Structures are given as structure tokens and as C-alpha cells.
Amino acid sequence: MKHSSLFMVLLLSSLFLFPAAGVLGDLPTREDVLSGILYYGLGNWHYQPIPVDDSFSKKAFKAYLERLDYGKNFLFRSDIEALQKYSLLVDDGWRSGRFSLAEDGDKILKNRVRQAQAYCKELFKRPLEFRKEEALELDPRKRGYFLDAAALQEYWRKRVKYMALTYYLDLIGEEKGAAPNLFDPVKEEKARKAVEKGVNSFFNRLLEASKDDVNSHFLNAVTAVFDPHTSYFAPDKKDEFEIEMSGTLEGIGALLGEENGYIRVAEVIPGGPVWREGKIKAGDLILKVAQGDEDPVDLVGINVTEAVKYIRGKKGSRVRLTVRKPDGRIEMVALIRDVVQIQETYARSSLIKEKSTGKTYGYIELPKFYHDIKNQNNGRSSSDDVAKEVEKLRRLGVAGIVLDLRNNGGGLLDDAVKMTGLFFPSGPVVQVKDKKKPAQILRDDDGRVTWSGPLIVLVNAMSASASEIVAGALQDYGRAIIVGGETTFGKGTVQAMLNLDDYTSDEWKNLRPLGALTLTIQKFYRVTGASTQVKGVVPDVVLPDPMDALEIGERYMDYPLTWDHLSALSFQKWNQPLPIREVQRRSRERVLKDPLLGLFQKNRDRLIRLRGRTLQSLNLQTFQKEQIDLRREDAQIRRLQKENPLLEPLPTESDGELKGEPDYQKKRRGDWFQEIRKDPFIVEALAVFHDMDLVKPPVKGKR
């Protein structure tokens, strides 16, 4: 996207935005300029702009209420009724630069926060009752706004008790063999004091919200109605976003999101501390964070920007995260903050020898797409690195190659096209559609095939964007068998980030910095014409994956762009048809007999059932027993997930290349080989290769 083009549109639009300024000599306010740029920017450049009318206002008003009282912790029904007068006026406020809804909402919220703060001050003076059998509703969608002050106080009494219980169990957990019904008043007091500190910090953060924070809630309620990836970043939030995207963020190495009042791990960044440690996964909820040996701070009910301030820290510092797993299990995980180790994100390959057959297969893991744009001549790219690994495996004579794109959130489109082209001679790979222009067809036309043998691509619910382009194209060409969970993420859109300061004239420079806007500008389509948006890529061989129970993906977001399709392109399918139906039948039979995959299926079904059970017992004995039972089930899975004795991962480097290798690299490779031997999806992929050998359809023509 050209900044100059958008600047001209906005410059012309400014004649209509501020007519009074020229006549009366008044300068526009910061809100005037922000509203104008966002209004005309979204209207002119968003991929699918929507009418800004009363229907839009209703949606934006609902989104604003969710942002104002994140998790329904404070507001009364009467407060919502008082704000209801704005439900059809959001569009007018946005156009005019008058944020009356945001101003009134902020005043009401802070008044209720002070009420809760005063109540909790008294609550913390007395011991908490852990023996009473009662429950807290954890899902704010099932809780209404409070009827009165008594309802607010009852909620915060239970909320404080729940937080204290989780901290208390951390303390009890430090003593091996503690009985479930054990009660220690000293530990209760310590837990209560720690929670008091965290809750007061939470209240103070809300009461100290800046005008930028208040305006951001309003503007992001507006942008959210366009699609979930279009967002406004206030100046300080823009700086934090740029730090994260630069890859130099010192922290835990995870992208965080918000889910019903909780901080959720949206994605684990390859090469970061969370990825290397392996205990925290996408879908986990972060309940508390503690610096070193300090008392933890509760994160429930705060927005993700505030949470990041507590979780981020200097390299080498220790942080303790209390997380709740999708099955309800609560764990404390200690991490040493670090920068993301880029070398951990690079493509790497391994030989996998089957001891029972003597056959050797190739395995390539690509945790993320990468491309050194600043160093085009000598920098690394994922497509070039995968090409080198494929060529290496081809020379070693492997019988088939597994390309693992699980948990790969995507990257540059050009890399996806080049990578796909490694496996067939030439043809279209993906269609990219702008708002007004005909679709652009991106092709691979070099005529070279780096690997022409059997190919399997592994995917899961976290495979997104460029990963979906590669998997979708190879599936459409009949070139590879796709193996994974129910479907991929379903992100078929492209975003651009605009620095809003670039779109203001010098006469408004005193209003800078204004922040940034990310907006959706393009959509992807497969060669068949189908979009990858929302539906993603459905694997040929579907395996039970507990991740499919976690509501991860575009289809679970508010206001995603819809699935649609273009005309199919003309393309030549691979000349060796794949025995998809027979492979599917044989795989289903193996899954029914495999104890680990069977347990995955049971765990997935159980997680789906648990999604609807959100009442949490606040009785110490019941709470602790639930946690013991959950840990027992998790231990059962880990016991079954043993290393497969029939698989022998081997390095692709020669003995000479490995000579003098540092000890840390040897350990890294050994740990990786151990993961491969335990991975049921890799084991099943090799079984699919056997099926392909047993059922070989006739070859169509020659190449």
C-alpha cells in the first residue's frame, strides 16, 4: 500500500472534516483528527468497508461495553441502561470526533471500581472461609451485570476467595504429601495478603487510565466491527506492538490475547522461553504473574496491554506464571525471560529410520516463516532453507518427506509461493484479491521440482495464513496428503499497519503522535477459487487433536470476514493420483486401536464437554481434589506418550560436519529427537506412507 495515495484521500477529505476550523479559526482537536483519519481510512482502504449507520452503532456499542468492563467485574444493569442512549449514536460520535460515550463510560466505571475497592478493603481484614461449599461462575457471558451493590460485593467476595485459593494451593503444593483437607491459617493469611496486593494494583490501574486509554476503548470498539484484525493502537501501544514485531522483545516469547475476561496464550513464539520450556501452550489462560520470588499479581479482568507490562521483563529475570489449562488444571510455571533465539525458528530436518522395515524418511520442521528483508542478498528465508533441507534429504535417498507446519502462524506470501513450488513443476499457487482490483495470481513458473517423491504435510488449528496457502495448494494439486486436526486456523486475510502521523499535515503536528492503525486490505483464495478465510484447510487424514476443543481459529472471533470464492484457475494436477479414500480408511482403523490417539480423542471430547461447565467450587477440599484428579489424567497421557522404539531419528549432517559441535547443540538435537519419537502424528504420517506404497494407483502420463 502506498502511503502517498492514502494521504491524498485523507487530505482531500479534511476539507469536509473540519469546515468550522477554516471559518472560525479553531484548530481541530486530537479526537477530531483521529476520528477523521480512521473514518476515511477504513472507508476507503479496508478490504470490505461496511455502512456506518444505526446497525453499525449497535454492534460497536456492544463491543464498547465489552471493552469498558472487561469480564463484567463492576457495572450495574442501571449503568448499562444509562449508557443505552448512545447505542444508536456511535456512528455520529465517530464522525464528529465527539467521544461522549467514552467519557461517560469512564466516569461510571471508575465510580464502580471505587465501590469495589472500598468493599474489598474491609474484606481483606478478616480470614477467608475455605470450608464453605459454594461456587463462582467463571464465564462472564453467563453472568449478567450486577443488580445492586449487594450483588457487586458478593461477586468480589467470591472472586477474592477464588484468587486466594489458587495462591493457597501453590503454597500447599510446595509441601509434598499435603492432605486434601489440610487447612493452614498461616498460609491462608499469606495468600490473602498476596491477593490484596494484586487486587489493589488492579483497581489502581483502572482508576489511573489515561485519556488515550479511554479513547482507545471507543476507537477499537469501532474498528472491531470491521473485522477482528483491524485495530487502533494508541501511541504507547503502537510502540509496544513494534517491539513485539521486531523480534527483540525480552520476555516469555508468547503472543497474548483476551478471552472473556482472561489473558489467553494465543500463540507460542518459536525460539522463545515458553517454546523452549514446553509447559505453556496456546489456549492456556494466565491467571497470575509474579516477578522472581515476589507475590503474584492477578491478571483476571485486565486487558492484554496491561498484562504485557507485567509479563515482559529484562533478559535473565525470573517470572512465575500461574496458568489454567483448558481442562481446568491450574499450574505454576517458572521461566527465565530471554530474547527469542532466532536460530530456533529456522527450518531443520532429520532422518527417521524405521527399524521394522529399514526404510528412512525425511522430516522437516518449520516453526514459522521468516525472511530477512533488510538483507536480501545474504539474508535467510524460510523458502530457501526448506529447499536446502529438501535437497539434502533427496540426496540421502529418503522414501518420503514430512513437512511439519503445525503451530506455524504464517509469514511472507512470496515464501509460501516459492516453498510450494519446490514440489511441482509450475502453475498458480494462490490468488490475492484487493478490494477493487481483479485478483492477482501468484505462480511458480521455474519448471523445477526439488522433490517428486511421496509428501505429507502436517497441520493443526494453529497453522495459519502462509501455512494454509502451502497446505491448500499442495492439496489442490493432489501433490501431498495433508494430515492433522479438524481444520487449520482459517486466516485468509492480509493486514497493513499505518503510522497515523504520516497522514497529518504539519499544521497538526502539535497533535502527534497519534498512534497507528492495522487494517485488512487483501484476501487469499486457493487455485480452486475457495477462500481459506474462516474454513481453513481441512486435512485429508483427520486425527484426534485436543487443540480442536479450544475454540482456536478465525471462526470463533467476532465479525470475521466471511468465506467466499472466486472462479477456479486452470492448473495441471500432479501426475500420480493419491489413494486418499483408502488412506483415510486405514488411518481410521489405526486410530481406533492406538491407545495414545484414543486417549487424545477422549481428552478432546472431554474438553468440549468441560467448555460448558464453568462453575468453580470454592471449597478447599473440593477444589484440591479436582486439581489432583486433573493432574492424574494428565500424567496418564504423559505415561502413554512414550518414545516409539521402532523410530530412530538421525542427523542429516555427516560425521565430519558434526565434528566439534558444541555440547548445547548436541543436547538441542537430542531433545528434538526425543520429541519426534513421542509424537503420534509423526508416527501416523509414516504409517500413511506405507499405505501409499500398498495402494498405488496407475500413473497418469509422464513428466
**95 with 52: CB under 8 angstroms?**
yes
Give the model's pLDDT for residue 363: 98
Rg (CA), the chain: 27
Give the integer Cα–Cα distance in Å for 13 and 665: 58
pLDDT of 14-29, one tens digit each?
333 433 343 334 678 8
Q: How far is CA 391 from CA 367, 453, 473, in A?
A: 19, 12, 21
Q: Where are the domains of the chain?
A: 46-224, 234-336, 346-427+444-490+529-596+636-694
Give the model's pLDDT for residue 237: 59
pTM above 0.75, yes or no: yes
Identify the band that residue 438 occupies on the pLDDT scale cut at 50, 70 and 90. Answer: very high
Neighbouring CB atoms inside 10 A of 399's CB total 17
Q: Nearest-CA neighbor of 201 among 124, 117, 140?
A: 117
Residue 248 pLDDT > 90? no
Active site residues: 465, 476, 491
The residue with cell 472534516 is 17
Greater model confidence, 166 or 146: 146
Greater model confidence, 489 or 263: 489
Residue 96 pLDDT > 80? yes
- DSSP code of 157? H
pLDDT of 71-81, one tens digit each?
899 999 999 99
pLDDT of 538-582, one tens digit each?
999 999 998 898 889 999 999 999 999 999 999 999 988 899 999
**587 with 691: CB under 8 angstroms?**
yes
Kindly give, in sequence order, each residue whose CB lies less than 8 Å from that of residue 326, ignoring residues fewer than 6 positions away. 283, 284, 546, 549, 550, 607, 610
Give the model's pLDDT for residue 177: 46
Give the model's pLDDT for residue 99: 93
Q: Nearest-CA neighbor of 475 among 407, 432, 526?
A: 526
Residue 670 pLDDT > 50? yes
Q: Nearest-CA neighbor of 54 among 87, 14, 9?
A: 87
Identify the band that residue 173 occupies on the pLDDT scale cut at 50, 70 and 90. Answer: low
Give the model's pLDDT for residue 20: 34
Span 510-519, average pLDDT: 89
Give the integer Cα–Cα distance in Å for 74 and 60: 20
Give the integer Cα–Cα distance in Å for 263 and 672: 29
Average pLDDT over all residues of the chain: 86
Is 346-427+444-490+529-596+636-694 the same fold as 234-336?
no
Give the integer Cα–Cα distance in Å for 665 and 673: 12
**Fold (CATH) for 234-336:** Pdz3 Domain (2.30.42)
Joined together, the cell numbers standing for residue 204 give 489502581
Give the model's pLDDT for residue 10: 37
Residue 196 pLDDT > 50? yes
pLDDT of 439-469, one tens digit each?
999 999 999 999 999 999 999 999 999 999 9
Give the integer Cα–Cα distance in Å for 536 and 563: 9
pLDDT of 592-641, one tens digit each?
888 878 878 887 887 888 777 889 999 998 988 888 888 887 787 777 77
Identify the band that residue 341 occupies on the pLDDT scale cut at 50, 70 and 90. Answer: low
Assigned CATH class of 346-427+444-490+529-596+636-694: alpha beta
Residue 664 pLDDT > 80? no
